[in-house]
Structure 1
Amino acid sequence: MKMTQIIKTLSILSIMTLISCSDALEEETFSVLGPTNFYNSAEDAEALLNGVYTASQGYRDISRDYLTINEMTTDILIERGGGINANTQPIEDFIWPTTHPYFDFFWGRYYVAIYRANVTIEQVPNIDMDEERRTQIVAEARFLRAFNYFQLYDLFGPVPLIVTSQTAVTDRPFRSTKEEMLTFMENEFNTVADILPATQEQFGRVTNTAALGFLTKMYLNNRDWQLAADTAQELISLGVHDLFTEGNRTDLFALANEGDNEFIFVAPFPDNPATGLGNTYLSHAAPPGYQFEFPPKVNFAAQFKILSSFIDIFSEEDERLDAFLFEYTNGEGNLVVLGEDDTRSFKYQEDPNGIGDISGNDWPYLRYADILLSRAEALNELQGPNQESIDLINDVRLAAGLMAVSVVEFPSSDSLNDFILEERAKEFHTEGLRRQDLIRHDKFISEAISRGKPAQDFNLLFPIPQSEIDKNQNLMQNDGY
């Protein structure tokens, strides 16, 4: 069962206070809801944790916002048309105002999740309930808190590290150092990896492999190659996950295969569109006049388009090419061939139960293929071209219907690194990983300049939202903004 199918809207609790004056009758307060008398049962503990999941995982426009930030800044994706172009074009053009609403949104959303996690971590240990479940709830909340800091660090660099719910705008701490942020995430992911189970009954809940997976990615993105390689191997050795090979590679993203054990951590969306929750990606990607197979569907004026130069890196036999729409028959029965820089990614296949712009397609944060290629990259950085890296790369290539490559094809570490970076682009397009991959390979700025963008070195990070700096005098802006 998907996590979102059991999470209901959280109750909003208000503490009622009585205002008195010298001439008014004094009223007796019979009950007040608050932290000391509400969080007292196992059901309360589960409700607290569900609130952390709700804030941490999916929301209806996650694909739009996540891809704008992480792929429209790269050599994969552009957006044309629709009202959202006013927000997406400055991101694509590397003109990033500190007042951009997307930066405000991400910052606020992640810190709301962190606050909820802090409340859960503080309150649940005091609840009289099954000890094993209580320990696991706290571990899940700690993972989700670290996950949200992972996201903040990726976008903005070191941020205020808040680990208590008892804080306000006036007493928020200074930005943490890089070392403090990395040490905190490392300790949290390591600790919960020893507590969390390898699998969960409800798909979408965190596991020890999710903790090890994000620890791997944290080490990798910070170029701690040995720890990245070792942690990836620890995850691989558990034998919990494997690659999807039961059909065309693109079928991994069909709704029928949600829950496949290649997915390590996702934002799960409900199969029932009546909930109002869902993935809106296809409504942003469908070209004008496109006829959905399962109407009624909304086709937005926004147009998420794939650059032709990106399509050119695929070989003809690559099954991952099947994720792209190159032509279609419109409502008038005419064949429309999409031209230069107009191909569409339909990686997230159409949901037959979707209504309007809402589909049940899950959003993948981490897959097993990422762990294999992460270890391959880390080993290459440590050893140069080696057989194990090649074997790991070939596992992913063979799953995509491609021929294996040989170690003798790569005369240097740099040549194999370039190959891995390209394999990652083909495997993880439309999943929002390209920006961090290019940054790690020192190509994010140079690639942007080659596309005619006024990118500068400080653009490796986005600006801290000006609204947050206005509220917190301790918060310093990132360099260059």
Structure 2
Amino acid sequence: MKKENNMMGMKNSYKIFTHVLMLIFLASCGDDFLEVPVVDTITEDNFYMTDDQLLAGANTLYGQAFFTANDKFMYSLDMLAGNSIGFEADAPYKLFAVGVNNRTLLEGWEGFYKGIADANQLLKIIDQGLSPDISEEVKNQVEGEARFVRAFAYFYLVRLWGEIPVIDQITADTSTRYRLNTVPSIYAFIESDLKKAADLLPLNPSDQRRVGKTAPWAFLAEMHLTLKDYENARAYAKMVIDSGLHSLQSNYQDQFINPSLSVNREGIYRWVWTSINGLWGIQNTNQAYLIDDDDLVGNNGAFGSVAPSVDLFLAFDKVADPGEEDLRRKWIIMEPGRQYDELKTVDGGYTFPENGDNSATKIRYRKYVVGSLNEHPNVFFMRTEMSTQLMRYADILLIYAEAILGNGASTGDAQAIDAFNQVRRRAGLSEKMMISKEDLMNERRIELALEAGKFWLDLLRLDRTMARDIIRVQNRGTANSLVPLDTDPVFVTDIDNANFLFPIPAAELSFIDTTSPAVDYVIND
């Protein structure tokens, strides 16, 4: 990314490579997955004495470890992709000018490496030997979860940064300057961890919040799609489909607007959050950034930092035929005049202002907006319990269709068409008889909008020329009105290959050797 102007101040933060991260494990209690901190340090020799304790130790892998990545970084990827627009401080993401001192960039890096550190700590504890009271079944499950999450984190890092250091164990050595590892060897490590996780995990875990074999299979499918290995992408996606464990929810919206329904059969891997007034770092903060109406959220934590872009607003027309209404539209974006009976229920519902609100594009996101305590429990200042969806069955259906298409211009393959049309049918759209790469990209952009940076990751795996062509025609500007459409357009035309990867944050540069050529990572286990 090009050097940004007006770089944001950098917070004092732990350096991920300088010390052993001490974990704060949260115990399972009743219906809450993560509720009460039980310790602030782990005594490796004797802490995990039972199955429940070991499972509770792994709970951090389902959200808490990735808190800083979820807080603002993930939605910043949608700004890069042209789906969102933010405050002036977020302009570097809109204009491809993210510099090494960007605070949100550091938070994303820290979040993924914190997930890796927690996974490594668990693997170290398991390797050193556990209490005989811990069953082999639970030991395998937790090892599988740790390997899966470590692979998940590295899969994000390698796509977003390219050459990075692979850290596969906890160490107290503060003098090491870590070498960068080559991209192919990082992918080999990711594949190894995912395959081992698939071997260790149960097929159908009793707790739906935890991952089973379908999670590593799903990410193996996405990884092979990213590497243009369409045969393996198709095979792993088919394994998820044939498992029979996942299906599309009857409607699109519940998993994004109702915390109690956000853990379901469509989800394959998600971050699960707990909201406790006064505790920080275990909750989902996203609602605070998406809406600018304190009355709607029931507290003064509605900042409206990010909004849908003009280009995303127009992108719905690329998937719907003339005269069709995409049922997802109402639940992804708030448009002038839209009525939401499930928000502001004490007032009889909420109508988005006829002239739009004060966002730069006159619209807001509906997705991931929960409302207030009047609608759902445990909604506090910058706190909700809405799960963050990271891999869904809809994604797998679209991966499967794209893997069948492969390098072809279009396909009418019955299995590809069926998978593609399952997603469209739920959206209330007409079915297709033939699909192209463009059809798939357009469908993914809408179906997965504001989800874990998915559209930016899709652009990253495209041929660079194709990705640049998409970005250069995106309207990244502001709107004066939507009906009739009147915008002050902004187009980013000066984009080259260097703009597709982030720089390593400045806070980490003294611990990483960025001057020597990257070396192959050698898998140690």
Deviation at 1:37, TM superposition (A): 5.4
Deviation at 1:134, TM superposition (A): 1.4
1:65 aligns with 2:42: no
1:337 aligns with 2:337: no
Which residue identity lines up with residue 336 of structure 2 in the other structure? E
Contact persistence 1:193–1:209 (CA under 8 A): yes
Partner residue in 1 for 2:505:
465
Give TM-score scaled by structure 2 length.
Answer: 0.76
Partner Cα distance (2:176, 2:69) in 1 = 32
1:230 aligns with 2:199: no
1:163 to 1:360, Cα distance in 2 relative to 1, 3 A: same
Superposed CA offset, 1:138-195 (max 9, x none): 1111111111111211211132112121263422441111221111111111121122
Equivalent residue in structure 1 for 2:257, among 251, 254, 258: 254
Superposed CA offset, 1:235-279 (max 9, x none): 11111001112x4x3234231422221111111123665655433
1:193 aligns with 2:176: no
1:299 to 1:420, Cα distance in 2 relative to 1, 3 A: same
1:120 to 1:334, Cα distance in 2 relative to 1, 3 A: closer
Equivalent residue in structure 1 for 2:249, among 241, 244, 252: 244
1:7 to 1:476, Cα distance in 2 relative to 1, 3 A: farther
Equivalent residue in structure 2 for 1:425, among 445, 449, 452: 445
Deviation at 1:303, TM superposition (A): 4.2
Q: State the secondary structure of the residue aligned to 1:200.
A: coil
Counterparts of 1:104-183 in structure 2 under 5 Å? 104-125=106-127, 126-128=129-131, 129-166=134-171, 168-183=173-188
Partner residue in 2 for 1:395:
422
1:326 aligns with 2:335: yes
Counterparts of 1:263-282 in structure 2 under 5 Å? 263-270=267-274, 275-276=279-280, 277-282=282-287
Question: Unaligned regions of 5+ residues in structure 2, if any?
Answer: 1-27, 475-490, 519-525
Partner Cα distance (1:476, 1:311) in 2 = 46
Counterparts of 1:370-381 in structure 2 under 5 Å? 370-381=395-406
Superposed CA offset, 1:42-91 (max 9, x none): 5653454234445444x3772532011x21012211113xxxx42x1112
Superposed CA offset, 1:184-229 (max 9, x none): 1111111211221233333432211111111111111121111101
Partner Cα distance (1:477, 1:278) in 2 = 40
Counterparts of 1:9-24 in structure 2 under 5 Å? 9=37, 11-13=39-41
Contact persistence 2:159–2:460 (CA under 8 A): no
Q: State the secondary structure of the residue aligned to 1:5.
A: strand
Give TM-score scaled by structure 1 length.
Answer: 0.83
Partner Cα distance (1:35, 1:268) in 2 = 25
Q: State the secondary structure of the residue aligned to 1:264.
A: strand
Partner Cα distance (1:241, 1:135) in 2 = 23
Contact persistence 1:283–1:299 (CA under 8 A): yes
Deviation at 1:371, TM superposition (A): 0.4
Partner residue in 2 for 1:18:
none
Over the aligned positions, Cα root-mean-square deviation in angstroms equals 3.0
Deviation at 1:4, TM superposition (A): 5.8
1:290 to 1:456, Cα distance in 2 relative to 1, 3 A: same
Q: State the secondary structure of the residue aligned to 1:116.
A: helix
Superposed CA offset, 1:335-372 (max 9, x none): 44228833212012424232233222111001000001
Deviation at 1:135, TM superposition (A): 1.9
Partner residue in 2 for 1:348:
368
Q: State the secondary structure of the residue aligned to 1:71.
A: helix
Q: State the secondary structure of the residue aligned to 1:233.
A: helix
Partner Cα distance (1:3, 1:475) in 2 = 50
Which residue identity lines up with residue 229 of structure 1 in the other structure? R
Which residue identity lines up with residue 149 of structure 1 in the other structure? Y
Partner residue in 1 for 2:467:
444
Partner Cα distance (1:34, 1:466) in 2 = 33
Partner Cα distance (2:63, 2:255) in 1 = 25
Contact persistence 1:45–1:124 (CA under 8 A): no
Counterparts of 1:57-96 in structure 2 under 5 Å? 57=66, 59=67, 62=70, 64-68=72-76, 70-80=77-87, 85-86=88-89, 88-96=90-98
Superposed CA offset, 1:365-384 (max 9, x none): 01000001001001101565
Compare CA radii of gyration and give the structure with the larger one. 1
Deviation at 1:95, TM superposition (A): 0.9
Please, which moves more after superposition, 426-435 or 251-260?
251-260
Partner residue in 2 for 1:16:
none
Superposed CA offset, 1:258-304 (max 9, x none): 222111111112366565543333332224x5741x62353215242
Which residue identity lines up with residue 262 of structure 1 in the other structure? E
Q: State the secondary structure of the residue aligned to 1:309.
A: helix
Partner Cα distance (2:420, 2:52) in 1 = 45
1:169 to 1:477, Cα distance in 2 relative to 1, 3 A: farther
Partner Cα distance (1:334, 1:230) in 2 = 44
Equivalent residue in structure 2 for 1:5, among 33, 44, 50: 33
Which residue identity lines up with residue 75 of structure 1 in the other structure? G
1:301 to 1:217, Cα distance in 2 relative to 1, 3 A: closer
- Length, aligned pairs only: 441
1:250 to 1:150, Cα distance in 2 relative to 1, 3 A: same
Partner Cα distance (1:94, 1:48) in 2 = 39
Which residue identity lines up with residue 325 of structure 1 in the other structure? M
